[in-house]
Structure 1
């Protein structure tokens, strides 16, 4: 939650609404008056929870996602899209290269890709969708 331009009192009032799990428990255990400003409160929470922050993977990680032998195209795309959501930056060219490189070399869809190579991610997804529907 971003509260740019609001007074510290508003930010402090809204802050608990953004918390859940351990962060909520930590907030509930704070002594009243521990933080005299929102900046100090935010620094306290960053210090407490920075180590447990989820790290996003680089987009190049997608180059490691491969369709397995015998896996249908729909399952591969579902797995790929799930992994794609864990990456930090969704560069279209890298994503397209990863998709093309991840298709099982002997799959029927690869034969289709050999006849016509998509130049955009949208083309790939459209062709894959048509192929999955035909399957």
Structure 2
């Protein structure tokens, strides 16, 4: 006794195939001439030949050598950009990623931190980078010589205050009045 598996007939497969399609593939299928497909093999061959050009070319691992942290680019954006590129490279070894990431760094402080305790895996490096970025973010709004350095929008300090319209004629008069008042105050000093 032999066990044979039954395959569904080509008609059923061809009719159920469009239900699995979305977007561009569904549009392609709807443009096929009616009664132009005889069996599922013909349909699958047409499908493959039409969409084979849309496959992306494999990017070699040496592509990582082209990824460098740009002047003025924050560590956070470099990590984000590097990770995006990692997704494009097929079968990238962890050591290759680790080495090329470090080679592309320009953040001297982070390089020093990596040199003190070098990570063995890329995931360890990314965790270390995340901690470093969090520390950078926490230290950013500090007082330096009486001025506050912050990532916030300078307009945040003006919230709740009335804004002057530069194009409005009454504001020109007000600014002149302020200048006159300032001059008068300077003129009446006792010395």
What's the TM-score, normalizing by structure 2?
0.59
Q: Does 1:70 align with 2:72?
A: yes
Q: Does 1:37 align with 2:39?
A: yes
Give the deviation of 1:53 after TM superposition. 2.3
Give the RMSD, CA atoms, in angstroms: 2.3
Report what 2:53 is aligned to: 51
What's the TM-score, normalizing by structure 1?
0.80
Distance in structure 2 (CA, Å) of the matches to 1:90 and 1:6? 39
Distance in structure 2 (CA, Å) of the matches to 1:133 and 1:107? 17
Greater Rg over alpha carbons, structure: 2
Rate the CA distance shift 1:111–1:82 in 2: closer, same or farther, 3 A.
same
Provide the aligned length of Structure 1 versus Structure 2: 129
Any unmatched runs of 5+ in structure 1?
A: none
Rate the CA distance shift 1:89–1:15 in 2: closer, same or farther, 3 A.
farther
Any unmatched runs of 5+ in structure 2?
A: 1-5, 137-191
Rate the CA distance shift 1:11–1:91 in 2: closer, same or farther, 3 A.
farther
Q: What are the superposed Cα offsets for residues 74-118 of structure 1, whole Å, 9 maximum, x if unpaired?
A: 1100111111111222321221122111111x5210111122211
